[in-house]
Amino acid sequence: MDEQLLRIVKKYDSDKNRLMDILLDIHYELGHVSELAVQGIAKSLGISKIDVEQTLSFYHFFSNAARGKNTIYLNDSAVACMLGRDEVKKAFEETANCKFGKVSADGKIGLFNTSCIGMNDQEPAAIINGQVFTNLTPAVAKQIIIGLKEGKKVEDLYHKQYGDGKNALMQTMVQNNILRKGKVLFSDYNPGFVLSNSLKSMSPGEVIAQVKKSEIRGRGGAGFPTGLKWDFCSRFTGGKRYVLCNADEGEPGTFKDRVLLTERPEMLFEGMAIAGYAIGSDSGLLYLRYEYKYMEDYLESVLSLARKENRLGENIGGINGFNFDIRIQFGAGAYVCGEETALIESAEGKRGEPRDKPPFPVEHGYLNNPTIINNVETFCSVVKIIENGGQWFSEIGSEESSGTKLLSISGDCEKPGVYEIDWGMTIYEMLEMVGAKNTQAVQISGPSGSLIGPSDFGRKICYGDLATGGSMIILDNSRNLLKDIVLNFMEFFIEESCGSCTSCRIFSKLLKDKLLKILEGKGVMSDISDLEKWAKIPAVSRCGLGQAAGNPIISSIKNFRFLYEALVQKGVDYDMGFNMEEAVQASCDYVGRIPNIH
C-alpha cells in the first residue's frame, strides 16, 4: 500500500494541486480511498488530512469506503426515468440482491445513482467500472449482473462497436448520433491548417480582433463575448497565463460536447492552441468530466499525434516562440464544476466550490494566474473563425447570435441526437426536424432553463429570445410535467448544491417539499403562491446553480399553472402539509424506536 501510494504521488511530482489525479488513481487501483491512504497522501504532499478529506468527500465518484468489486452508477436524469430507468434499476437490484446505495453482501456488486452522464439520446444508461452502457433494458441489466458475479470482465459484457469516431480506441456502446451537419463545426476540416497557414500572417492582437469581429459568444450557456474575454486576459500581466477548456457538460440533457470530443478533438485542441497564441499562454488544460473517462486513451492518442505533427509543442506551425501544450484534467462527478471558478478550484485539487467574483478568472484564475475558460464548442468554432474570417462567421445565424449552435435533443421524438443549426430556428421548426408529435412542452437548456408550452413554440432559438447552452428535452402529452420533470429537477439541484449558500441549500429543499405536498394532493391554493415567492429566493445565491435552482418551479407555474391548480384543494385555506404519523415515524426511524402514537 505504502509503495503503491508513493508511486502514485510521485507520478504527479508530489504536487498538491494534482490531488484530484492522485485520488482518481488510488480509486482506480484500490476501489476507494481508505483512512490510511488519506493519512499517507496528506503526509506525502505536506498538507493536512482535512485538506485531503474535503476534496475526497466532495465528488460523487470518490469514496472512503469500498463500493464493490464492480460498481454500477445508473443515471437518474428525467429522460432516463421517462425511458424505463426504474425497471432497469429493479432488475439490477433483484439480480444483485442488493438495494441502490449499497454493496451486495458478497462485495461483488455496488449499486449507486448518479446525475446525468451525457447520454440522454440513448437512455437508460449507466457507467459500470468506468465503461458506459447505453439503451439498457431489464433483461440486459440482469445479464450484466450475472456476468459480473461469474467474474467476467466488464469489457466482455457490452456490445462493442466503433463509435462514429471510427477509432480502435473508441470501442464503445456510445453512438454519436450526428443528425444535422452545419456550416461551422461539422463542415470540412483539415487539422493543423490554421496553425500552419493562417496564424503565420497574424499577430496575437489580430487573432483577438477576428474573434471579436465574429461576435461569437461563449457556447457553454452564459454567452459572454469570447473576443472580449480573450482581450481582457491578454492585458493582465504578472504571472503565466492559462487556457482552460470546460468539458464538464453536466447540464441534464446536454451531450453535444461528448460528440465534439470524439468527432472533432483535433479541432478542439487547435482552437485551444489558437487561444494560447492570442493571449500569450503556453499551457492548456482540458477539464473533462469523469463521466467521459472512456475517451481518455483516445484523446491522449490525439494529443500525441498533434505533438508529433507540430500542432502542439514548440514553435508550432513554424512560428518562432509559439509554444503550447495541453494536459487532460479529470473531474470526479460534480455538476457545480461546470461553473468556471468551481472548475478552477477543482483543477487545483480542491472542492469544486465557486469563488466570489470579482476578481474574474481573466485576472486571477488557475493557480491565481490570468486564465481564459471556454467551452468545447467555442474553441472548435474559433478554428473556423480564424480560417474564414470573423466577418464570415458573423454573417451566419441571426441578429445578436452569430454562427451555428449545436443542440442536444432528447425525449419524446423520433430522432434524438446532435443537430448543428443556424441560430434563429423556431421551436416549431426544431420539433418538425426531429420528428416530435403531440408535444406538450419543451425544456430549454436543462433544469437551469425554462419549461415552455405550445404558445411559445413560435419563438426563436437565439440569445435575444430563447438562449440555450444546447439541451432540449421534448415532452409529449403522455408526460406528467410536474412529477416527471419539475420534481426530478428539484431533486437534481438538491443533490448538486455545494451547500455554501443558505438560499441555494435550503430553498431547493423547501421548494421540493412544497411541490411534493401538492403532488400528494395535500396542497392548497396558497401553496402555489408560496412556491412562486420562494422560487425567487435562490436567485441571490453565489453561483449559477443556486441562481437557477428556482427556475423549474418559476417557469412551470408561469406556463403550466393549470397543472398546479388542478392538484390543489379548492375552498380549503388551512395547511394540510403536516402529518403527525409520518413525522413521528421519521423521528423514530432516526433514533431506532418503535412509534406509539395511538
| Binding residues vs ligand SF4 (CB under 6 A) | 336, 354, 497-501, 504-505, 541-543, 545-546
* Shortest Cβ 508–ligand SF4 spacing (Å): 8
Q: Which is nearer to ligand SF4, 352 or 470 (CB)?
A: 352
User: Rounded to the nearest whole angstrom, what is the least distance from the CB of residue 322 to ligand SF4 in the complex?
Assistant: 38
Minimum Å gap between C-beta 549 and ligand SF4 is 7
Instruction: Output 275 or 334, the one with its CB closest to ligand SF4.
Output: 334
CB 577 to ligand SF4: min, Å: 25
CB of 289 to ligand SF4, least distance (A): 16
Cell digits for 252?
A: 441534464
Cell numbers that stand for 56 in this block: 475526497
Cβ nearer to ligand SF4, comparing 445 with 497:
497
Rounded CA-CA distance 162/487 in Å is 37
When the beta carbons of 231 and 496 are compared against ligand SF4, the nearer one is 496
Which residues contact residue 139 at a Cβ distance below 8 angstroms, ignoring those fewer than 6 apart? 91
Sheet holding 242-247, edge to edge: 325-330, 283-288, 242-247, 371-375
CB of 504 to ligand SF4, least distance (A): 3
Could you count the other beta carbons within 10 Å of the beta carbon of residue 201?
Answer: 7
Neighbours of 32 (CB within 10 A): 17
Q: Which is nearer to ligand SF4, 283 or 497 (CB)?
A: 497
Least Cβ distance, residue 448 to ligand SF4 (angstroms): 12
CB of 62 to ligand SF4, least distance (A): 18
Cell, residue 342 = 468551481
What is the rounded CA–CA span in Å between residue 172 and residue 547?
A: 36
- Does an H or E element contain 50, and which? helix 49-56
Q: How far is residue 499's CA from residue 342's CA, in Å, rounded to a whole number?
A: 13
Residue 190 to residue 188: CA distance in whole angstroms: 7
Nearer to ligand SF4, 18 or 355 (CB): 355
In angstroms, the Cα distances linking 130 to 72, 122, 155, 188 are: 9, 17, 10, 33
Residue number, 18 or 351, with CB nearest to ligand SF4: 351
Structure-derived torsion over alpha carbons of residues 478, 441, 179, 137, reported in degrees to the nearest 10: -30
Q: How far is the CB of 102 from ligand SF4 (least distance, A)?
A: 27
Choice between 95 and 541, CB closer to ligand SF4: 541
Q: Which is nearer to ligand SF4, 319 or 539 (CB)?
A: 539
CA distance 309 to 327: 17
* Sign, CA torsion 74/331/384/371: positive
Of the pair 349, 354, the CB lying nearest ligand SF4 is at: 354
With beta carbons less than 8 A apart as the criterion, state whether 426 and 457 touch: yes
C-beta separation of 430 from 461 below 8 A: yes
SS3 443: strand
Residue nearest to ligand SF4 (CB): 546
Residues 6 or more apart whose CB falls under 8 angstroms from that of 66 comprise 31, 32, 103, 107, 110
Nearest approach, Cβ of 541 to ligand SF4 (angstroms)?
3
